[in-house]
Amino acid sequence: MNEAAWRRLLSQIRDGMVVPVVGPQLLVGADGQLPLQARLARLPLEWHEGTEGLDTETPLPPFGELNEAVARLKPRANLQDLYGDVHAALQELTRGDDDVLVPLPLRQLAQITDFKLLVTLTPDDLLARCLRRRCALNEIVHSPRLPTSEGRTRPAARRWARRTRATRTA
């Protein structure tokens, strides 16, 4: 990028016109470790190893590991148990020292104070952890199939979400 393009980008960030969307690609460890999603996908597959018809030999696609693992397990496991397994694996992998666990690019992104909104498409809370260290956080968790009782949305965010849904469906 040239100097003028950088200046425009920084201005757009300050004006709230840029929203970073974080996917599993940002969760790759700089130390050569497998991406979080790959490690997360392996645990439920290991726990269900020996299940009839379950393919554990075919490699999982890069940055789509968790989706593929769940797709392989879904026809062979109770859906609620599968949710529980993925949650337990996520808790196991994200427990510990944030400075070691959270990839450097994610920590650097969280330090950019001009972003008004950040979106993550991953099931972990690593970005939120980084942001909480820097500022107060209004976290909105959206999952179309998440039971209402498990949502972590504040009342103001719920009103915003209802308006957004109404706008989209109109």
pLDDT confidence of residue 104? 82
Domain hosting 106: range is 3-137
Quick one: 111 and 163 in the same domain?
no
Please report the pLDDT score of residue 40 as a whole number: 87
Are residue 81 and residue 109 in the same domain, yes or no? yes
Position of tokens 């998440």? Answer: 146
Structure token pair of residue 142: 């959206």
As a dihedral over the C-alpha atoms of residue 70, residue 76, residue 79, residue 85, rounded to 10 degrees, the angle is -60
The reply to whether 133 and 156 lie within a common domain is no
Whether 74 and 11 map to the same domain: the answer is yes
Q: Diameter of the chain by CA atoms?
A: 59
Residue 115, classified by CB atoms within 10 Å of its CB into exposed (0-12), middle (13-18) or buried (19+), is middle
**Mean pLDDT score of the chain:** 79
